[in-house]
Amino acid sequence: MSDTLGQVPYGTTRNPFNYDKFEQISRDLTTNWLSIDEIAQQLNLGTDESQDTYLESLELAVRMHIEDYLGMSIFPTAYRVYYGLSANFSTPVYLDLPVTSYVDKFNSGNLAINKVAYYNGNTPSTLTTIASSSYYYDSTGNKVVLSSGIPSDVSTYRTSPVIVEYTQNANFTQAYPVIKQAGLLLFTHLYNNRSESVASGLQKIPYGVDCLLRPYKPLVM
């Protein structure tokens, strides 16, 4: 196949993101990112340990907010992505992944493909796992490539019969001092303002969390 300069292969059948939907299926809801010592120093609590249980629960909320804001995993997070057939009739088939991670020289990032599967044409249709030898992950394009295309017995009655499950590994940028400082700043704000009542005079931090995190938030083109 010859490609015209400036055109994307299969450009007439794919857009940059050809999945139908994706969902989060697993997330760490217990591990602390900011240590109690870091939090105690930030809040000037000294050796007071009476609030540790509350501080740990609030830390989890802060960590989840940072993850959601940046679209990155501070700790591994798993996703399931669904694909229809209309944009996937070529061979090979490219299955774009919506959420991926940075990779540094220590490879502390990237992602792991857990499963590629499809609903077959049986009645009722059943989910069938595709052998790992039949696909590979293209890190340069953030996609799974099915070398032989979609199996011929795929269901044509399912809206999105092909799925990919993968784990986005911990993002190394979570250790950046600027990211941790944003977490501590947000923690302090939530600790000091425990309600949304107008009487409390709550105000948005004008030069704070958003400013610190904005350079690390991926742009949506």
- Each residue of 105-140: pLDDT tens digit? 444 557 889 999 999 999 999 999 999 999 999 888
- Tallying the residues shown for the chain, one arrives at 221
Distances (CA, A) of 159 to 81, 127, 155: 13, 14, 9
* Rounded (5°) CA angle 72-73-75: 165
- Using the predicted structure, report yes or no on whether residue 203 has a pLDDT greater than 80: no
Tens-place pLDDT, residues 40-86 = 999 999 888 899 999 999 999 999 989 888 888 888 889 999 999 87
> Is pLDDT above 90 for 173?
no
Which pTM value belongs to this model?
Answer: 0.77
Domain ranges of the chain: 35-73+176-216, 75-171
* 91 pLDDT more than 60: yes
Sign of CA dihedral 216, 38, 111, 116: negative
Peptide bond into 98 cis (omega under 30): no
Task: Give the residue from 101, 212, 108, 113 showing the smallest Cα distance to 163.
Answer: 113
Phi/psi of residue 94, each to 5°? -110, 120
